[in-house]
């Protein structure tokens, strides 16, 4: 299991200060989302790598477009030198194949994950779009991603084990809505502790607020890494 820290602070300066405070930890991933990347772009990725070149970077862009446009964007992402990014599973099998084929020429291509169901959906709003329950569709999307050569999926910790059973133990699961030691769920619907995430074979717990809102993020990460 590898910790993925969500860099969701309101400015590049604050995100970089957080990263700086965690630079003694070699084995962690940093999640760069829409907000940070749209605002701070490629120089932000470079600044993170400068703080610790062993930080792994997950660019959370959730691509969704026609297959060729997604493949073009994936190639640009690979050129940024990030270690992992994601696309929406609902962009379909052809988009997945096209993206993976385009990246196959890169020696150290980034890992590619597919978003199954956004955690903000409840069952009703999800089925009004996808016509199925979240659990069933997430499994179906995961199988499709696995069959088309992706490396894993973004899903809820509660779906991680079933997804691995339907695909492979080595098919990665990256799961937000983790409250390591039972902290406040805030706006997340179904939160899981680290203990549960471990039981559910989660590969990447994504943790934001429980780290950056802590009075001592460095100490919090230490506790999380010990628990992992
Ligand atoms: O602060 P917290 O630990 O809840 O942050 C979770 C992170 O995971 C945020 O960056 C959020 O955007 C992201 N995320 C999520 N649910 C998804 C996909 C991403 O919470 N389905």
Residue range 68-122, pLDDT digits in tens: 999 999 999 999 999 999 999 999 999 999 999 999 999 999 999 999 998 778 8
Ligand 1 pocket member 94 (CB < 6 A): no
Cα separation, 179 vs 197, in Å, equals 10
Q: Which residues are catalytic?
A: 62
Cα separation, 93 vs 149, in Å, equals 10
In this predicted structure, the answer to whether residue 1 has a pLDDT above a threshold of 90 is: yes
The pLDDT of residue 209: 96
Q: What is the distance in A from the centroid of ligand 1 to the CA of 108? A: 27
Cα separation, 28 vs 34, in Å, equals 20
Ligand 1 pocket member 208 (CB < 6 A): yes
pLDDT tens for 203-224 read 999 999 999 999 999 999 999 9
Q: What is the distance in A from the centroid of ligand 1 to the CA of 165? A: 24
* Closest ligand 1 atom, residue 117 Cα: 21
Closest CA to 145 of 87, 110, 96: 96
Assess contact for 221 and 3: CB atoms under 8 A. yes
The pLDDT of residue 7: 98
Ligand 1 pocket member 177 (CB < 6 A): yes
Q: What is the distance in A from the centroid of ligand 1 to the CA of 169? A: 23
Q: What is the distance in A from the centroid of ligand 1 to the CA of 66? A: 25
Cα separation, 172 vs 131, in Å, equals 26
Task: Report the predicted TM-score, pTM, of the whole model to 2 decimal places.
Answer: 0.95
The pLDDT of residue 145: 98
Mean pLDDT of 174-194: 92
pLDDT tens for 10-43 read 999 999 999 999 999 988 999 999 999 999 999 9
* Closest ligand 1 atom, residue 210 Cα: 3
Going by alpha carbons, the residue nearest to atom 8 of ligand 1 is 176
Assess contact for 67 and 99: CB atoms under 8 A. yes
Assess contact for 215 and 15: CB atoms under 8 A. no
The pLDDT of residue 22: 98
Q: Of all helices (H) and strands (E), which one includes residue 107?
A: none
Ligand 1 pocket member 209 (CB < 6 A): yes
Going by alpha carbons, the residue nearest to atom 5 of ligand 1 is 208
Cα separation, 82 vs 79, in Å, equals 8
Instruction: Tell me the pLDDT band of 190, cut-offs 50, 70 and 90.
Output: confident
Ligand 1 pocket member 217 (CB < 6 A): no
Ligand 1 pocket member 33 (CB < 6 A): yes
pLDDT tens for 126-169 read 999 999 999 999 999 999 999 999 999 999 999 999 999 999 99
Closest CA to 44 of 12, 22, 19: 12
């Amino acid at each position: 299991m590898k910790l993925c820290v969500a860099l969701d602070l309101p400015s590049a300066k604050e995100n970089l200060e957080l990263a700086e405070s965690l630079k003694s930890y070699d084995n962690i991933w940093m999640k760069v989302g829409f907000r940070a990347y749209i605002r701070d772009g490629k120089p932000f990725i470079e600044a993170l790598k400068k703080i610790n070149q062993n930080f792994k970077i997950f660019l959370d862009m959730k691509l969704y477009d026609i297959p060729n446009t997604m493949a073009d964007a994936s190639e640009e992402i690979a050129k940024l030198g990030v270690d992992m990014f994601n696309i929406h599973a609902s962009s379909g099998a052809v988009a997945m194949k096209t993206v993976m084929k385009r990246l196959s020429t890169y020696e150290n291509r980034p890992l590619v994950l597919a978003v199954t169901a956004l955690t903000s959906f409840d069952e009703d709003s999800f089925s009004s779009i996808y016509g199925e329950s979240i659990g069933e569709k997430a499994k179906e999307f995961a199988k499709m991603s696995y069959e088309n050569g992706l490396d894993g999926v973004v899903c809820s910790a509660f779906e991680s084990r079933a997804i691995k059973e339907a695909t492979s133990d080595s098919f990665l699961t990256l799961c937000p809505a983790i409250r390591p030691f039972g902290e406040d769920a805030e706006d997340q619907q179904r939160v899981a502790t680290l203990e549960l995430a471990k039981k559910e074979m989660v590969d990447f717990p994504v943790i934001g607020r429980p780290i950056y809102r802590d009075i001592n993020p460095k100490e919090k990460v230490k506790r999380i890494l010990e628990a992992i």
